[in-house]
Amino acid sequence: MLHLLGLLHDTPPVPVLRAYLHAPCRGCESAEAIVDLLRRGVRVLLSGTASDSHTWNLVYLQLVLEEWGHRVTNLGPCVPSELLAALCREYAPEVVVLSSVNGHGYRDGLDAIARIRALHGRAGAVPVVIGGQLGLAGGPDPRCAARLRAAGCTRVFDDGDVAALRVFVAALAHREDTLSAVSAAEEAA
Ligand code: B12
């Protein structure tokens, strides 16, 4: 059920969801828990890198991110950096997740992050993470990862870091909660 709801791009109004989820299936989260998760879910722009034609990594990441309650727009493989940057402006995601497994991720990632960080305003400041099999050496390369971070990548994940990605995106959801609470308190004052 949660996975099906994850296919929706925008969270429907909570009363609609509550009515729809009046009888959650056995083994699913309660309706309240699902509503809470969807409310706090992060808007994710997921993309393959410019040279990378692999797709199952993207399918996998979309499924797990949605399972964790986030809303994913999956741009698919071989996305040129200019297009990625243009779509960052268009969709205003809360996080960009880049995935690459063909061994050219360190190089493609540098181009992608340069284009995104060149955007003005909020779009240029969006958290951007990259992960997968990023280099040709068959394992993580700390120097290349450091270069990506210096260029503006918020986090660089290794191949098996899916659990760390979960923690990172969940923290963004909480950060938004905190920011909303602060603005509500400021408005009330
Ligand atoms: C299937 C496959 C293909 C298919 C892809 C079909 C398709 N539609 O996707 C085809 C045949 C087209 C293909 C092509 C090529 N492939 Co290929 N391919 C594979 C293979 C066998 C499986 C990949 C796969 O689908 N895995 C399943 C998904 C779910 O898992 P995953 O991709 O590993 O992703 C996981 C992690 O990397 C991680 N992850 C990925 N992204 C991110 C992002 C974040 C933020 C995080 C936290 C984690 C994360 O999470 C995922 C789930 O655990 C792998 C070898 C292997 N066994 O992994 C090689 C492999 C990825 N391919 C490889 C290569 C070299 C190529 C080619 C360059 C070959 C060539 N000379 O033409 C081309 C790529 C061309 C291009 N422009 O990109 C190499 C990459 C080498 C490297 N990284 O150093 C691999 C590793 C094979 C090898 N051992 O040499 N390939």
Please tell me the distance between residue 3's alpha carbon and the centre of ligand 1 in angstroms. Answer: 25
Q: Is residue 115 within a helix (H) or strand (E), and if so which, with residue range?
A: helix 105-117
Q: What pTM, to 2 d.p., does this model score?
A: 0.85
Range 94-119 burial, b when 16+ CB lie within 10 A, else e: bbbbbbbbbbbbbbbbbbbbebbbee
User: Which residue's CA is the nearest one to ligand 1's atom 33?
Assistant: 57
Domain 42-188: give its CATH code: 3.40.50.280
- The answer, yes or no, to whether any atom of ligand 1 lies below 6 A from the CB of 137, is no
pLDDT tens-place string over residues 2-30: 444 444 444 455 555 555 555 555 455 56
pLDDT tens-place string over residues 127-181: 999 999 999 998 999 999 999 999 999 999 999 999 999 999 999 987 665 555 5
Domain spans of the chain?
Answer: 1-40, 42-188
